[in-house]
Amino acid sequence: MPKEISFDSGKDSRRPVRVGAIGELLVEFVAAQKDTRHLRPADYRGPFPSGAPGIFIDQAARAGAEAIFAGAVGADAFGAVIRERLSSAGVDDRLIRTAEGIPTGSAFVAYNSDGSRDFVFNIAHSAAARLPEAEECVAVLEAFGVDVFHISGSALADPAMRTTALAVCRALAERGAAISLDPNIRKELLGESGYLDALWELMELAAYVLPSDADAEVLFPGETFAAYADRLLSAGKHAVVLKRGEEGCIGVARGGEMVSIPAHRVRMVDPTGAGDCFCATFVTHFAGGRSLSDALAYANAAGALAVGKIGPMEGNSSLGEIQALLEAST
C-alpha cells in the first residue's frame, strides 16, 4: 500500500518534480530488414542508447523533471554512448557506475511482419546488471529528494538486479516516495521463481500502476479496466493507467472519473520505447500537479512521437514538441 507523499513538493511551483529510476542501461541495435529473427545477416542500425528504465529517465528529464538514475555501464564506447545521452538530457549520474572488466549491456531487436519483435539481450553477464549497492542508492536518492521512483518489470529479469531494485523501492516507499510501476512483463520469465513475486510486491508498494494491454492480460485476466482499477484505487493507489498502443490509453485517479484518450494517428516506424516514454511523461506531469486528463494527454502525445523514429529513445520529446503535437491535433 503506497503511503501518502509526505511532502507536497511535486505540486510546489518553486521546483520541478524529482523523478528517479533504476535498472538496466543498454545499447540497442535495430535490424533494418524484417523477419530475419537474427538468424541471417542483416543491416543493423545502432548503437542507440536504450534499456526500458534508461528510456524512461531520459524522457522524464526532457518532459521537465529533475531526474536521477541508478545503473551501470562498462568502460567502453557503448557506455560512453549511454552516458553522453543521459547527461545531454540533464540526468544526474551520481548513481551510474562504471563496471570494470565487463562490457556495457546490449540488445538486438528484429521486427516481424506480424508486428512481433525478437530480442537478443546481453544483460546478466554485462555491466547492465551490476547496479550500485541498495544502501548507496537509497542514501543518494533520499539526498536528491526523489518524489517519484520508477521501476520497469524489465529490471526484475536478473535475480541480482531484482534484489537490489526491490530493496531500493521498499526503502523509498517507506520514506514516502511514490513508486511508479510499469509491469513490462516478459512472458518467458513467468515460470521463474521470484519474478512474479517481485512484481506483486511492487504492485503492493506502487502509487502509480501503469500496465500495457499485454501486461493487464497476465495480471488481471478476464477483468475489465474499470474493475481492477477500482480495486487498486481502493487499496490506496494514486492512479492506474492502461497503455493501449495504437488504441491510446485509459486512466483513473483516486476520487476521479475514468479518462479515455484515442491515440494520435501517426506513422509508426519503431514501437520500442513508446511505453517507457509514455510512463515518464505521465508521472512527471501527474506528480507535478497536472490533472489526470492533462497528464494523460501529454503522455499519449509523447507515446505517439516515440513510435515515429527508429531507435528506442530517439523519439523521446521535449515539452515543446509534446505541446506542438497537442496543438496541431485540436
Q: Which residues bind ligand ATP (CB under 6 A)?
A: 184, 212, 243-246, 248-249, 263-264, 266, 268, 271-276, 278, 300, 303-304, 307
Cβ 76 to ligand ATP shortest distance, Å: 26
Comparing CB distances to ligand ATP, the nearer of 137 and 210 is 210
Cβ 310 to ligand ATP shortest distance, Å: 14
Cell numbers of 321, please?
Answer: 514538441
Cβ 209 to ligand ATP shortest distance, Å: 13
136 and 96 Cβ atoms separated by less than 8 Å = no
Per DSSP, 146 falls in state -
148 and 17 Cβ atoms separated by less than 8 Å = yes
Comparing CB distances to ligand ATP, the nearer of 145 and 271 is 271
Comparing CB distances to ligand ATP, the nearer of 142 and 321 is 321
Residue with cell 547496479: 131
- 3-state secondary structure at position 320: helix
Cβ 162 to ligand ATP shortest distance, Å: 18
Angle between helix axes 274-287 and 292-306 (nearest 10 degrees) is 150
Angle between helix axes 292-306 and 319-328 (nearest 10 degrees) is 100
Q: What's the CA gap between 86 and 96, in Å, rounded?
A: 10
Cell numbers of 50, please?
Answer: 536504450
Which residues, including other chains, have CB under 8 Å from residue 194's CB and lie 6 or more apart?
159, 162
∠ CA 162-59-55, rounded to 5°:
40
Which residues, including other chains, have CB under 8 Å from residue 290's CB and lie 6 or more apart?
298
Comparing CB distances to ligand ATP, the nearer of 7 and 262 is 262
Cβ 261 to ligand ATP shortest distance, Å: 7
Comparing CB distances to ligand ATP, the nearer of 99 and 286 is 286
Query: Which amino acid is it at 281?
Result: T
Q: What's the CA gap between 183 and 175, in Å, rounded?
A: 22
Cβ 28 to ligand ATP shortest distance, Å: 12
Q: What's the CA gap between 280 and 15, in Å, rounded?
A: 18
Cβ 231 to ligand ATP shortest distance, Å: 21
Comparing CB distances to ligand ATP, the nearer of 5 and 214 is 214
Comparing CB distances to ligand ATP, the nearer of 132 and 251 is 251
